[in-house]
Amino acid sequence: MVESAGDPQESGLAREAGRGRHARGGAPRESTGFVRWLGETAIIVVSALVLSALVRAFLMQAFYVPSASMEDTLAVSDRIIASKITTTMGGVSRGEVVVFKDPGDWLPDPPPPAEGWRGMLQSGLTFIGLLPSDTGNDLVKRVIAVAGDRIACCDAQGRILLNGTPLDEDYIIGPTDQVLFDVTVPVDGVFVMGDNRGNSRDSRFHLEVASGAVPVDDVVGRVVLVLWPLSRIATVPIPGVFGEPGVAPPAIS
Provide, rounded to the nearest whole percent, the portion of the chain with pLDDT above 90. 56
What is the pLDDT at residue 14? 45
250 within a domain of the structure (yes/no): no
Task: Look at the chain and report how many structural domains it folds into.
Answer: 2
CA distance 184 to 146: 9
CA distance 197 to 205: 12
CA distance 252 to 231: 46
1 within a domain of the structure (yes/no): no
Give me the CATH number covering residue 89: 2.10.109.10
Q: Which of 118, 49, 91 is nearest to 190 (CA)?
A: 91
Burial of 47 (0-12, 13-18, 19+ CB in 10 A): exposed
The DSSP element (H or E) to which 98 belongs, if any, is strand 97-101
Average pLDDT over residues 105-123: 68
**Quick one: DSSP state of residue 133?**
B
80 within a domain of the structure (yes/no): yes
Are 96 and 222 in contact, with CB atoms under 8 Å apart?
yes
CA distance 141 to 199: 12
The answer, yes or no, to whether residue 253 has pLDDT greater than 60, is no
Active site residue 141: yes
User: Which pTM value belongs to this model?
Assistant: 0.74
Q: Which of 84, 141, 200, 203 is catalytic?
A: 141
CA distance 181 to 204: 8
Instruction: Tell me the CA distances in angstroms from 202 to 41, 100, 178, 192, 212, one per residue in order.
Output: 48, 12, 11, 6, 8
Q: Do 156 and 229 share a domain, yes or no?
A: yes
What is the pLDDT at residue 127? 56
Q: Do 64 and 40 share a domain, yes or no?
A: no
Locate all alpha helices (DSSP H) within 128-211, ordered by sequence.
none
What backbone torsions phi and psi does residue 160 show, to the nearest 5 degrees?
-65, 140
Quickly count: other Cβ atoms within 10 Å of residue 97's Cβ: 24
Q: Do 50 and 73 share a domain, yes or no?
A: no
Q: Do 133 and 190 share a domain, yes or no?
A: yes
CA distance 156 to 159: 7
**Top-confidence residue, 182 or 21:** 182
Mean pLDDT lowest among 17-31, 110-124, 228-242 = 17-31
> Which range among 1-15, 55-69, 162-176 has the greatest average pLDDT?
162-176
What is the pLDDT at residue 101? 94
33 within a domain of the structure (yes/no): yes
Q: Do 48 and 66 share a domain, yes or no?
A: no
The predicted-structure confidence for 172-206, as pLDDT tens digits, reads as follows: 998 999 999 999 999 999 999 999 999 999 999 99
The predicted-structure confidence for 135-151, as pLDDT tens digits, reads as follows: 668 999 999 999 999 99
Residue 117's pLDDT band (cuts 50, 70, 90): low
DSSP letter string, 213-246? PEEGGGEEEEEEEEEESGGG-EE-PPPGGGGSTT
45 within a domain of the structure (yes/no): yes
Average pLDDT over residues 83-100: 94
What backbone torsions phi and psi does residue 7 show, to the nearest 5 degrees?
-65, 130
Q: Which of 176, 146, 160, 218 is nearest to 69 (CA)?
A: 176
Q: Do 151 and 235 share a domain, yes or no?
A: yes
Mean pLDDT lowest among 14-18, 27-31, 82-86 = 14-18
46 within a domain of the structure (yes/no): yes
Q: For residue 34, what are the domain limits?
A: 8-58
Q: Do 186 and 100 share a domain, yes or no?
A: yes
The predicted-structure confidence for 200-231, as pLDDT tens digits, reads as follows: 999 999 999 999 999 999 999 999 999 999 99
Mean of per-residue pLDDT scores for the chain: 82
23 within a domain of the structure (yes/no): yes
Q: Do 36 and 67 share a domain, yes or no?
A: no
Provide, rounded to the nearest whole percent, the portion of the chain with pLDDT above 70. 72
